Amino acid sequence: MILPIIAYGNPVLRKIADDIPKDYPNLKELVANMFETMYNAKGVGLAGPQVGLSLRIFVADTIQILQDIPEDNDFAGEEGIKKAFINAEIIEESGEEWAYDEGCLSIPNINESVTREEKVRIQYYDEDFNFYDEVYTGFSARVIQHEYDHIEGILFTDHISPLKQRMMKRKLEKISRGDVEVSYRMKFPIVKKKGMRRK
């Protein structure tokens, strides 16, 4: 089932998400729905708060996008991942900082360069509650860091300079009002009143 994606401005995107209990009902169904919602929106990652759930869950699939990149790309040779990350905790970020243009399904049509460390060590559970302690680099690390931010209430726009944030402010306000062209279903925090004047 495709879920509506929560747009910028909804307070759920700003909360620190809660752990998922082991007896959480229909966890596998939630994971399947999150993958379906992500693919439908042509994303490579999606986190619980983005579907209105303040829960520590995110899904990522970087396999296809990495297969499609040209051989001279920095990420050439990277296999990619397709995984659900439950109750994830980043243990350490290390390595050189690098910049990359990020976007977000909750903030459509905005891309900005974000600087992050290259390596991430993360502990998490899969949807069967098997525990993992892994290190990622490259494109997959980038996606994990972005999605992990979501379960901490952080958005990629928080990482850019105050000047760029100021320049972006009106665009973000328009998104929260639903005044944005988007190809997938979204839920906007500010509902337009009937008869409200549109510019």
Active site residues: 147
| Identity of the residue, 104 or 120, whose beta carbon is nearer to Ni ion in the bound complex | 104
For residue 186, which of 1, 60, 8, 29 has the smallest C-alpha distance?
8
**How many of the chain's residues bind Ni ion (CB under 5 A)?**
1
Rounded-to-integer distance, Cα 110 and Cα 102, Å:
8
Q: Which two tokens stand for residue 147?
A: 């999605």
Least spacing, CB of residue 106 vs Ni ion, in Å? 6
Stretch that binds Ni ion, among 14-22, 88-96, 97-105, 136-144 (CB under 5 A): 97-105
| Identity of the residue, 61 or 195, whose beta carbon is nearer to Ni ion in the bound complex | 61
Helix (H/G/I), strand (E/B), else coil: 61: strand
Region at 19 (left for phi over 0; alpha for psi -120 to 50; beta for the rest): beta
| Identity of the residue, 87 or 157, whose beta carbon is nearer to Ni ion in the bound complex | 157
Stretch that binds Ni ion, among 13-21, 79-87, 89-97, 100-108 (CB under 5 A): 100-108
**Residue 144 makes contact with Ni ion by CB under 5 A:** no
**Residue 104 makes contact with Ni ion by CB under 5 A:** yes
**Residue 38 makes contact with Ni ion by CB under 5 A:** no
User: In sequence order, what are the residues at sequence separation of 6 or more whose Cβ sits closer than 8 angstroms to the Cβ of residue 71?
Assistant: none
The DSSP element (H or E) to which 40 belongs, if any, is helix 27-40
Task: Kindly list the residues in this chain that would bind Ni ion in the complex (CB under 5 A).
Answer: 104
